Structure 1
Amino acid sequence: MKPINDAHVARPGLAVVDIAAADDATAFALQHLLAAHYAIAPAHRTTRDAGEPGVRLRCFVDLHHEPDI
């Protein structure tokens, strides 16, 4: 995954969440749970690391804003 840059965590309440899961469905289910409680910039695809099990997904969370549901 790409490095986290300063803008992603520029102030309190901003967070980067890296999800490691066995499969896409599990990773997206967790992202969906986060989106139900916080405003997020969702990921639209997972990534796989060669030789490593499972998938990874990164989303960005803003704890100050209500989700857009």
Structure 2
Amino acid sequence: MRPINEAHVAEPGLAVVEVAAADDATAFAVQQLLAGQCAIAPAERTTRVPGEPGVRLRCFLDLRQAPGL
């Protein structure tokens, strides 16, 4: 995966979440759970690293837009 861009974590309440999972369905299910809690910029695909198990997914969260915060 590419390095995290400083703009993605420039202010309190912004976060980058990387999910490692056995398969695409699991990674996207975790992303969907996060989307139910706060605003996210979702990933459209997962990545695979040769020689490493499973898949990875990176999404960007904005906790400032979370319900109840």
- The TM-score, its normalising length taken from structure 1, stands at 0.94
The CA deviation string for residues 13-35 of structure 1, in whole angstroms up to 9 with x for no partner, is: 00000000000000000000000
* Structure 1: gaps (5+ residues): none
Q: Which residue of 2 aligns with 1:49?
A: 49
Matched, 1:2 2:35: no
Q: How many residues align?
A: 67
Q: Which residue of 2 aligns with 1:21?
A: 21
SS in 2 for 1:7: helix
- The TM-score, its normalising length taken from structure 2, stands at 0.94
- The separation in 2 between residues aligned to 1:41 and 1:29, in whole angstroms, is 15
- The separation in 2 between residues aligned to 1:66 and 1:20, in whole angstroms, is 23
SS in 2 for 1:64: helix
Q: How does 1:30-45 map to 2 (within 5 A)?
A: 30-45=30-45
SS in 1 for 2:29: helix
The CA deviation string for residues 32-63 of structure 1, in whole angstroms up to 9 with x for no partner, is: 00000100000000000001100000000000
